[in-house]
Amino acid sequence: MQTTIYTLTAPVAAPTRIALVSDLHDRDAAPVLAALDDARPDFIAITGDVFDGHRRFLAARDAGDARPIVHRFPNAMRLLEKAPAIAPAFLSLGNHEWFLLPPDLAEIRKTGTTLLHDAFCAAPGGLIFAGLTPHDTSRFWAYAASQGYRGELGKLRRAWRALHEPDEPAPASLAWLDDFQNQPGVKVLLCHYPEYWALLPPYLKDSPVDLMLSGHAHGGQVRLLGRGLFSSSQGFFPRFTNGVFTGAHGHMVISRGLANTVPIPRIGNPTQLVLIDLSPCIDS
């Protein structure tokens, strides 16, 4: 695992370090926790896919079963339980969290990590953290609820996919996001999909957000000459897989992630923990 440090300016009152953790996919959390402990961040931002939606037992899960399933993911839960002892921790959800149901979300909230599902909250130092859930995840949850959570979750997922394109435009109403963007303070948005920066609505590049934190693309899986080769959401030679991007108001930082979920090995693309050091803006 590689640790990368980016230094950016932001309207913070004092130097602030945010650790960006993404795409654990229920792999061993111990090295990540040790690195976080050494880094001594002020905040920990976990931008989704901490669980693994490819697990075979998920397809047969009865959507009407009220028993939480998150405890079958011990590494993910260990990260969520241990991270708050290092620094205040915030979690947004990714596309791999599609199988979570209300009982699972309730268990996640017990860990001490703050779950931000299309929501925001204030943090010390004048920061405001928000979490934007991918539209395909939130839309599937709405569909499952409309079916009364009846049947196998995998079958519900396939039925939903037959009706919707995963990358179709954002919902007409994102009132909570508008409210977040209008808040005073330093706005930090946890958003699993970097595509929402400039490729898909809500096109956050020009929004009044100071810092957007993302993952999902796994660095492009294979990196050649500093560029990723492929992303499932962007195709070949994707634009947004790693690094810092600057918008009209703030920045987006993308993590290459902490795990490999496909048979193709990560070539020239080590897993990554990202540290963002925010320095106060200096008035000219």
- Specify the pLDDT at position 237: 82
212-267 pLDDT, tens digit per residue, is 999 999 988 889 888 888 888 888 889 999 999 999 999 999 999 999 877 778 88
- Specify the pLDDT at position 167: 56
- Specify the pLDDT at position 283: 59
CB 189 within 8 A of CB 130: yes
pLDDT over 60 at 73, yes or no: yes
142-173 pLDDT, tens digit per residue, is 889 999 988 899 999 999 888 876 556 566 56
- Specify the pLDDT at position 126: 95
Mean residue pLDDT of the chain comes to: 92
Q: Are strands 89-92 and 43-47 parallel, antiparallel or unpaired?
A: parallel
The answer to pTM > 0.75 is yes
pLDDT over 80 at 177, yes or no: yes
Length of the chain: 284
Please state which of the ranges 4-13, 170-179, 191-200 shows the lowest mean pLDDT. Answer: 170-179
Beta strands in 147-259 (DSSP E): 186-191, 211-214, 223-224, 227-228, 230-231, 235-236, 243-246, 251-254
CB 125 within 8 A of CB 167: no
pLDDT over 50 at 47, yes or no: yes
Q: Mean pLDDT throughout 104-129? A: 97
- Specify the pLDDT at position 284: 37
Q: Mean pLDDT throughout 39-59? A: 93
Q: Taking Cα atoms as reference points, which of 64, 68, 65 lies closest to residue 77? A: 68
Q: Where are the domains of the chain?
A: 2-280
Burial 32-69 (b: 16+ CB within 10 A, else e): bbebbeebebbbbbbbbbbbbbebeebeebebeeeebb
How many CA atoms lie within 13 Å of 145's alpha carbon, on the beta-carbon side? Answer: 10
CATH number for region 2-280: 3.60.21
pLDDT over 70 at 278, yes or no: yes
- Specify the pLDDT at position 224: 85
Beta strands in 54-108 (DSSP E): 89-92
Number of other residues whose CB lies within 10 A of the CB of residue 184: 7
Collapsing DSSP to helix, strand or coil, 125 comes out as helix
- Specify the pLDDT at position 172: 55
